[in-house]
Structure 1
Amino acid sequence: MPEFKTERLEMHTLTADMMAAVLKGGQELERIVPFDTGAEWPLEVYKNLFPYKIERFRDFPSENDWEGLIVDKTNKKIVGDMGFKGGPNEEGVIDLGYSIIPSCRGKGFATEMGKAMVEWGLNQPGVKKVMASCSPDNSASIRVLEKIGFQPTIQTDDSIYWLYY
């Protein structure tokens, strides 16, 4: 993923080596990145995916081009992560996913970087649409996706599926 900036944030590539450092624990990640990693990142649900993602990134290096760390420009703290879950599928659809650490929620970070990521994603070869999904109970993510410009398309008991047109 190319590194880019918004008004308050920076996007930096999240590599397999970074994920492996997180899994080692302690301050391993801070030894290889110039960011304040803090104690809140990554969220446990995302960290649990790291073994799978490490293997995928090593087997399919191009998938690494689609995920990154969100860093606050003012203090160089990791405030979250965002990406497109491995790149476009056979129909040219990319699937946006993200998480923001609890102490940085409600500040508009997901919306700000989400808008930039959607714009970047739609300019990549082979990409035709951007989708996202969230739980119907996740009112914060619903607001973020609406602010980015996604439209709900399908709702089940477990998920709302969104498309960006």
Structure 2
Amino acid sequence: MDQYQTERLTMMVFTLDMMNAALESNTQLKEASGCEVPENYPMELYKQMLPYKIERFHEHPEENLWEGLIIHTESNTIIGDMGFKGGPDENGEMDIGYSILPEYRGNGYASEMASSIVLWGLKQPGVKKITASCSTGNQASIRVLEKAGFQRTGESDGEWYWQLEA
């Protein structure tokens, strides 16, 4: 997925160099990515996951293909991140995750990203199904998944589970 374009967004692979830069400073991430970087990127939860992702991608570089930045094309600004959590498993399933910075929410960016990137994902070799989960109270994420064509498949411990088949 080196880069994938929609009407307003560019999804770009979040390389190991960019991840390491993100842990250092926004200035270094700007240099590594060529994009403007808001002060609050990466969000704290994602920043805490970066060391694990860096280690994982060192061991399994092929999985880095599935991890991306969401860039507002017109302003060339990172507005979030998305990924397929390691690519397809032995059953051809992969789980999508995404986040949009708070100041960019409510503009349809997550829906635009998800609707297009799942189509790309389902065309990849070995992929039969894309899954997702979200809190039962996360109305924004529920709308994103519904707009992208996901069907709800179950509920457990306050989480709804979703799938989209090829």
TM-score (norm 2): 0.96
Letter in 2 for 1:14: F
1:69-148 equivalences in 2 (<5 Å): 69-148=69-148
Give 1:43 deviation, angstroms: 1.4
Aligned to 2:60: 60
**Aligned residue-pair number:** 165
Tell which deviates more after alignment, 1-10 or 25-34: 25-34
RMSD: 1.0
Give 1:40 deviation, angstroms: 2.1
Give 1:25 deviation, angstroms: 2.4
Change (3 A) 1:161 1:124: same
Give 1:26 deviation, angstroms: 4.7
Tell which deviates more after alignment, 37-46 or 141-150: 37-46
Q: How far, CA to CA, are the matches of 2:82 and 2:90 in structure 1?
A: 21
Aligned to 1:44: 44
Which consecutive residues of structure 2, in runs of 5 or more, have no partner in the other structure? Answer: none
Give 1:105 deviation, angstroms: 0.2
Tell which deviates more after alignment, 49-58 or 17-26: 17-26
What stretches of structure 1 move > 3 A for 4+ residues in a row? none
| DSSP-derived class of the 2:11 partner | strand
Q: How far, CA to CA, are the matches of 2:15 and 2:2 in structure 1?
A: 12
Change (3 A) 1:26 1:83: closer
Which consecutive residues of structure 1, in runs of 5 or more, have no partner in the other structure? Answer: none
Identity of aligned residues (%): 52
Give 1:89 deviation, angstroms: 0.8
TM-score (norm 1): 0.96
Give 1:60 deviation, angstroms: 0.4
Aligned to 1:31: 31
After superposition, the C-alpha distances for 1:77-112 in whole angstroms (9 at most, x for unaligned) are 101111100000110001010000000001000110
